[in-house]
Amino acid sequence: MEDFLDINEKEKEEDIRPRILLVDDDKFDRTFIIDLLAPENFLIDEAENGNEALALLSENKYDLLLSDIYMPGITGLEMIQKIREVDANLQIIMFTGHADLATAIEAVQLGVYDYIVKPFDPEALIWRVEKALEKSRQISLDLDVRVDLEERVSAQSERIRLIFYEAVQTLVNAIEAKDQYTKGHSIRVTQYAMWYARHSDISFEEASDIQLAARLHDIGKLGIADAILNKTGALTDEEYSIIKEHPETSYKILKPIMSDSILETIRYHHERWDGKGYPDGLAGDLIPQGARIVGLADSFDAMTSFRSYKKAMTLDKAIEEIERCAGTQFDPNIVPGFVEAARLNREQEELLTTVG
């Protein structure tokens, strides 16, 4: 019985490991790549040519395709054309021993994630594989959130709720269109919250709820006058009181279609760890974890974005401010992980820009 349970646990573990399909007619190159990626604990299937790869793709789900371009039979690009007819989201890294601009352009047009010229730089290859897998995970998360939302909608009149959700998304765009300085704010807050989620131990379900809450957290600002939202000077006490109403307004707008977890994250994202926030003055662990994460991501975007009344902070300056406010404004247990994730993702973005 014990051996049987061990086998089952091993199978479960293998099911969640990233799965890669490696396609190359050169056995030496395949062996080199497999040995190079072995410490990363990926599941790797091999194919010697495009037709064999297509057969494997028809039977299995892969997170990443690594493929040579020039192979006997159909080429790597011809194989990708067939793949794209049935799967628009599969992440693909192509490699070749013969750099060719026209081929590279065609690969990009087919949605190839990366294009590498042999001989391989081992560290660069591992880094590019990890980045491609990260994008694959993000796409999967986005798709799962969409499926989850559709399931919520179908529970109580699918057509009405879908229409309502689409209207809410339109309203988010309308809010950000009211002020050029906040354009893209909700998308960035979502990105920063997901940076932290990917580097923490929160569950997939929690991350999905946080992602949706972050996207919709400011919907209540639609009812605030432009003169207040776009004011360059200090707000009066009355104006600030109006601004502080937006979390509760968001809550009321979204209550018909959102779960309690998402609603609580939205309602309490302006609460503070020390209890001096709003709307209810919650403190410490009484603030839902999702609200603490979205609140920190919201503040980070405010610090690092340009406004008519202030310059954008540098990453280092924003991190210094976040660390200074740990234990007062922000959850001191979340701050270290958020800072680490922010630095890591910014470094990866800079490196990707340099490589590109």
Report the catalytic residues. 221
Alpha helices in 95-157, H assignment, sequence order? 101-109, 122-155
- Residue 221 is encoded by which pair of tokens? 């600002």
Q: How far apart are CA 101 and CA 322, in angstroms?
A: 45
- Residue 168: CB partners within 8 Å, gap ≥ 6? 216, 219, 253, 254, 257
Parallel/antiparallel/unpaired status of strands 43-47 and 91-96: unpaired
Angle at CA of residue 224, ends 253 and 163, nearest 5°: 30
Q: How far apart are CA 314 and CA 321, in angstroms?
A: 11
Parallel/antiparallel/unpaired status of strands 114-117 and 91-96: parallel
- Residue 54: CB partners within 8 Å, gap ≥ 6? 79, 82, 83
DSSP string, 257-288: TS-HHHHHHHHTTT--TTS--SSS---GGGS-
Considering only the C-alpha atoms of the chain, give the largest distance between any 2 of them, rounded to a whole number of Å: 74
Distance between first and last Cα of the chain: 53
